[in-house]
Structure 1
Amino acid sequence: MSVDIQLRFDSEAITEFSKANSEPAWFLEKRLAGLKAAGELQLPVLEKTKIDKWNIDQFVPFQTSGKVATAQELDDLVKGQIDADSVKSLIVQKNASVVFQSADEELKNQGVIFTDLATALKEHGELVQKYLGTVVKYDEHKLTALHTAVVNGGVFLYVPKNVEVSVPVQAVFEVAGDDALVCPHVLIVAEAHSKVTYVDTYVSGEGKNMVANSVVEVYVGAGATVQVASVRSLSTEVHDYSFRRASVDRDGKMEWILGEMNDGNTVANNTTILQGVGSIAETKSISVGTGSQRQNLTSQVQHIGTHSESDMVSKAVMTDEATSILNGITKIEKGAEKANGVQAENILMLSEKARGDANPILLIDEDDVKAGHAASVGRVSEESIYYLMSRGITRQDAERLIILGFLDPVVAEIPVEEVRNRLRQALERKLG
């Protein structure tokens, strides 16, 4: 049976969408190569998680929506993620349509490019081609191949040398409707000694059998600093697959701040490659598992440059019958002398039926380095609960305060107040 028959879309539908968006020929070729590879490659092998029964490819990829002229006209679900009256640089994508975008004039004056991927392919094709798909390869496994074939939007953010963007730029991705797909590709390029913060949120409207399959590629130039914050609050009807990867040059710094607040099954892989001497990676992530959802969340750093440093912190709270696998991988390559990599995975259990696995892994091929890890899986301290209850607080509120205190060191790092508040609201919702 051919790939076209197995899937709910084919090469003709992909070609039609590509031509309707005036994509360059090289990008269509990449799409079709991804479609072919999707029929040949296996799913990624995940620690203690089988996803072969999940919704991988049963979706309608190119469902479109109408545009709006102002942020105030966006639907309430999206407006709940932003400050519609003050946001200046924003891209909003719903399924396969960019329904709104704006860019601060100051950014344009600085030579910064912040636009949707379709526009970037038309107006900055050579620049996009230079970087797109070179850190996350289309043929790594079935999910990246599918992503490449049916990518239906995304963001291109380019910051020239020596430019510092003082205000975070934002994107909101919404998936809604039966069998809908949101499949954005986010490409961030920060030239030498530049600085930028990018924030996105993922939300879902009404619908069944939905999928999110996203890729983020980041290139951090010499001495540049890039901060990426992402909050995902997708429903039980969405299977979410995200692959984020950064390549960091000499003395560059990459910082990830991630809130995995989905109610549905989730696979997330976050990798930073420290290519240059003195490069730095910091990763902070939190997740909350509820109901019967399954999460497989991996944070990984590969040290190649000498004197490179990494710090990974992952925290999870598990309740009901949820399962969460937290993988932390620090890989120090031969020749990465004086590298220093530390990591910690901590899981707080709120239910006897929940399952949480913390898997710290150190892979070290060089002698002159420092590396360390810590992991814990435990329940809320009864002593702490008793202390709070002795001051007139109910047990439920005491547990809630302890949990929020456990997660807040990461929440507090979200660089946009509105997004930070929404993450706290998502925590309140998931924890009851």
Structure 2
Amino acid sequence: MSVHTEQLFNRQTVTQLSQSFQEPEWLLQKRLAASDAVSHLHLPKLEKTRIDRWNFTGFEPFKAEEAVASADALPDTIRQFISVEKDDNVFVQKNSSPVFSQLADSLKEQGVIFTDLATAAREHGDLLQKYFLTEAVNPEEHKLTALHTALFSGGLFLYVPKNVQVKLPFQILFWAAGKGIGTFPHLLAVVERGSDVNIIANYGSEEDSDAVINGAVEVFVGDNARLRIATLHTQGKETTESAYRRTIVGRDAHLEWIVGDLNAGRTISDNTTHMKGAGSNAQIKSITVGSGEQRSNITSTVRHWGTHTESDIVARGVMLDSAQTILNGVTKIEKGATKANGVQAEKVLMLSEQARGDANPILLIDENDVQAGHAASVGKIDPIQMFYLMSRGLTRREAERLVIFGFVGPVLDTIPFDSLRDRLVGVIERKLGS
């Protein structure tokens, strides 16, 4: 049942939620300030996408789940997303509750923190307060970020001290199950100077779930650090998901971010990277494949603040049936960011007469001594290409499959995680009906 935001999420609800987690006063006040702001803030304004009729508030804001003692007790629907061997680093949250967590002893000894936000607030309060919803995500950016700040539950805090090299990826899963629920997954990752880290974060739901997912990711990449992070979204067709990701990149740091927006329902995906440190480098790669009546608005933004910074945005979208997507790329070079270099390319391939796609490359340049470039295309499969493939004995479906995987290849081929690449291919195959 849909209800008004102000009626369901009042100060008493927020206070009770905070108290149930035994949160410190500073965190309660942050929640309450956001709760007060919800009523006067507006929904985000998206390019060519109308969202005023999407469900952002009709849900139960908290659904607790029981923790499990071992990975063997996790259901198969969850275990397919993760690998849990002895030295694997794994965090699983179902609905509003963390249900399983595992961190290698060797990383604990080096000072790595890998725990839910409620535990982090109690045991690492000063460190959490320094980063949580401060510089990266603005709680009052719009109504959805305010709602997230007021109602987040569970969530993960990953902290890697300086000069720590972590070979195995941190595996994270936020899972939504059931009807009429809302989940507010929050991932805060801090990678200190000189460290090298890999993160794979999965966001999924049961096929029949109509969950409202309002998630945020905050990432801080320290000087000379290296982070490879992949976020894969595979929500069901009745879900509504808004995902806001914000990254601060330090001096001579390297960020590689792979985003797979493969939901079947309604999606807002907003990824913004701030190149604060001189000499930093960011590569943002995204894939979206839409089928059925899916609607999505996907934006990748890089803002250059430091000198000699470099960025590359590569986005690919494939639309089937009557699916629609808006694919936005924004490169902003701020005043003073001399010698910056920002390039981007967005391409959309449509496979039916009813499918719709739009690619919008945007360059905003406030400095003279820089380089920037963009490319964009929207179109259908070349019939001559199809004729050639089918003349070699392939069926139409086989030929389409080859063309599609060739189209998304520039992103798939660069994914450094074999398990993630295989999963992306599997999800795309299912959407294609293969």
What pairs with 1:197-212 in structure 2 (closer than 5 Å)?
197-205=198-206, 207-212=208-213
Determine if contact 1:293/1:321 at 8 Å carries over to the other structure: yes
Question: Who is 1:42 aligned against?
Answer: 42
1:22 aligns with 2:45: no
* Residue of structure 1 equivalent to 2:148: 147
How far apart, CA to CA, are the structure 2 residues paired with 1:415 and 1:341? 23
Please give the root-mean-square deviation of Cα atoms over the aligned residues, in Å. Answer: 1.5
Alignment partner of 1:217 is 2:218? yes
Using the TM superposition, name which of 229-238 and 76-85 deviates more: 76-85
2:207 and 2:224 map into 1 onto residues whose CA distance is 44
Matching residue of 2:262: 261
Instruction: Name the SS for the 1:153 alignment partner.
Output: coil
Partner of 2:424: 423
State how 1:13-412 maps to structure 2 within 5 Å: 13-85=13-85, 88-134=88-134, 135-205=136-206, 207-412=208-413
Unaligned runs of 5+ in 2: none
What's the secondary structure of 1:372's corresponding residue?
strand
Report the Cα distance in structure 1 between the residues aligned to 2:329 and 2:100, rounded to whole angstroms: 37
Q: Distance in 1 between matches of 2:154 and 2:402?
A: 39
CA contact (8 A) 1:168 1:415 kept: no
Secondary structure of 1:163 counterpart:
coil
Q: Is the 8 A contact 2:209 2:236 kept in 1?
A: no
C-alpha displacement of 1:303: 0.6
Per-residue Cα deviation, 1:100-144 (whole angstroms, up to 9, x for no partner): 111111211221111121211111111010011121110110000
| Ranges in structure 1 where 5+ consecutive residues have no aligned partner | none
Q: CA deviation at 1:211?
A: 0.8
8 Å contact from structure 1 (residues 210, 238) kept in 2: yes
> Alignment identity in percent?
52
Which region of structure 1 is more displaced relative to structure 2, 7-16 or 396-405? 7-16
Per-residue CA deviations over 1:372-391 (Å, capped at 9, x if unaligned) read 00000111122322232223
Q: Quick one: which amino acid aligns to residue 248 of structure 2?
A: S
Relative distance call for 1:391 and 1:255 in structure 2 (3 A) is same
TM-score (norm 2): 0.96
The amino acid across from 1:107 in the alignment is L
Q: Distance in 1 between matches of 2:38 and 2:377?
A: 38
Q: Deviation per CA, 1:32-56, whole angstroms, max 9, x where unpaired?
A: 1111111110011110111111011
Matched residues in 1 for 2:324 and 2:199: separation? Answer: 30
2:194/2:224 contact within 8 Å kept:
yes
The one-letter amino acid paired with 2:21 is N
Answer yes or no: is the 8 Å Cα contact 2:184–2:213 preserved in 1: yes
What is the CA distance between 1:6 and its match in structure 2? 3.8
What per-residue deviation string (whole Å, max 9, x for no partner) do you get for residues 291-321 of structure 1? 1121100000001111100000000001111
CA contact (8 A) 1:71 1:85 kept: no
SS at match of 1:57: coil
Distance 1:415 1:16 in 2: 43
Structure 1 counterpart SS, 2:60 = coil
Task: Say how many residue pairs are matched.
Answer: 430
Q: Give the C-alpha shift of residue 190 in structure 1.
A: 1.1
TM-score w.r.t. the length of structure 1 is 0.96
Output the amino acid matched with 1:133: L
SS in 2 for 1:363: strand
Report the more deviating stretch, 148-157 or 10-19.
10-19
* Contact kept? 1:117, 1:154, Cα under 8 Å: yes
Distance 1:53 1:122 in 2: 39
Range moving further from structure 2, 14-23 or 344-353: 14-23
SS in 2 for 1:128: helix
Residues 234 and 262 of structure 1 are in contact (CA less than 8 Å); yes or no, is this contact kept in structure 2? yes
> Do the aligned residues in 2 keep the contact of 1:261 with 1:287 (CA within 8 Å)?
yes
Cα deviation digits, residues 71-108 of structure 1 (max 9, x gap): 12111111111224467111100111111111111211
Deviations 1:332-356 (A, max 9, x none): 1111111000000000110111111
Moved more, 132-141 or 380-389: 380-389
Give a deviation string over 1:2-53, Cα, whole Å, max 9, x none: x987443432222222112111111111111111111110011110111111
Kindly state the Cα deviation for residue 209 of structure 1 after the two structures are TM-superposed: 3.4
Structure 1 residues 423, 251: CA separation in 2 closer, same or farther (over 3 Å shift)?
A: same
